[in-house]
Amino acid sequence: MSANPRKTRLAAYVICVDDGKVLLSRWVSPKGPVWMLPGGGVDFGEHPMDGAIREVEEETGYIAEIDTLLGIDTIVRPDFHGVRVIYEGRVVGGELRFEVGGSSDMAAWFDLDEVADLVHAEMLDTALALLRTRPATGRLAS
């Protein structure tokens, strides 16, 4: 038995853009706060789309509706494989509020041209590239 077992984590995220603004959630990482898409870990037995909708509500207070699957992104480290399902959606209800006692502490709308200046997760750049290019395979070219 290995001392460092390998782990795979399935997560789902929603990119909501409205009138040139994108909805982001601020993840409280061990290295400090980082802006990213609302979303996160999919529970055992949960469909990724349902998990994404649940996570948007938990992190932002908004009810989201999924419009399309944009793609799947992965991150691989020596003992970790993250699989990230990225949906495009829109807010259909609820009110902006901050998550309490979770992995994020704030949520806000930002102009798309502000994103580059934010301290943000690399996966946000990936999601924006998927939104811009909409590859038929759901995967960005390497």
What type of residue sits at position 101?
A: G
Work out the average pLDDT over 29-44.
95
Closest alpha carbon to 17 in 136, 95, 126, 132 = 132
pLDDT digits (tens, 9 = 90+) for 97-127: 999 888 899 999 999 999 999 999 999 999 9
End-to-end CA distance of the chain: 34
Percent of the chain, pLDDT > 70? 98
The confidence score (pLDDT) of residue 137 equals 95
Domains of the chain (ranges plus CATH)? 12-133 (3.90.79.10)
On whether the CB atoms of residues 67 and 60 are closer than 8 A, the answer is no
| CA–CA separation, 92 and 94 (whole Å) | 7
pLDDT digits (tens, 9 = 90+) for 60-91: 999 999 999 999 999 999 999 999 999 999 99
Q: Return the higher-pLDDT residue of 100 and 135.
A: 135
* Global confidence as pTM: 0.93
| CA–CA separation, 131 and 86 (whole Å) | 9
| CA–CA separation, 19 and 53 (whole Å) | 21
Work out the average pLDDT over 40-50.
97
